[in-house]
């Protein structure tokens, strides 16, 4: 896919993170259906979760008030697990096995369940009592 196809947006809150997460499924599905490899940038972001916009948000000042909460730790863990699943799919796409990549994208155990688990973990951050920063003084 052309490098400009995937553009990471700056994430400031849980809804932004969910939107970014949904864009990943679209990016992977388009690559599989269009039978085109992923861009170098998208592949690198999948291979290196620390470079992903969601991980950057999880480590940013936007979530500083959540550090140490069970919800935060779950979101970090789910993000890592999701990247493992995305990497398997990205490798198939980049190897030209588009049909198998699409099967995994539509598979509950290989993509849907980890995807939903990450989305739920992100939204749990928004519902955490520490999730809403207090008013600025």
pLDDT exceeds 50 at position 136 = no
* pTM of structure: 0.82
Q: Residue 91: CB partners within 8 Å, gap ≥ 6? A: none
Structure confidence at residue 120 (pLDDT): 95
Q: Residue 75: CB partners within 8 Å, gap ≥ 6? A: 58, 118, 121, 122, 124, 125
Q: What is the pLDDT of residues 93-116, one digit of tens each?
A: 999 999 999 999 999 988 999 999
Structure confidence at residue 10 (pLDDT): 81
């Amino acid at each position: 896919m052309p490098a400009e196809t995937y553009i990471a947006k700056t994430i400031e809150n849980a809804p932004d993170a969910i939107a970014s997460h949904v864009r990943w499924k679209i990016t992977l599905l388009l690559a599989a259906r269009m039978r085109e490899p992923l861009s170098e940038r998208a592949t690198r972001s999948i291979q290196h979760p620390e470079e992903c916009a969601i991980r950057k948000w999880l480590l940013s000042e936007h979530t500083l008030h959540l550090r140490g909460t069970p919800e935060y730790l779950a979101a970090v863990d789910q993000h890592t697990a999701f990247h493992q699943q995305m990497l398997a799919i990205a490798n198939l796409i980049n190897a030209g096995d588009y049909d198998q990549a699409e099967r995994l994208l539509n598979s509950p155990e290989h993509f849907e369940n980890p995807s939903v688990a990450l989305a739920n973990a992100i939204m749990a951050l928004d519902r955490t009592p520490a999730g809403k920063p207090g008013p600025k003084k």
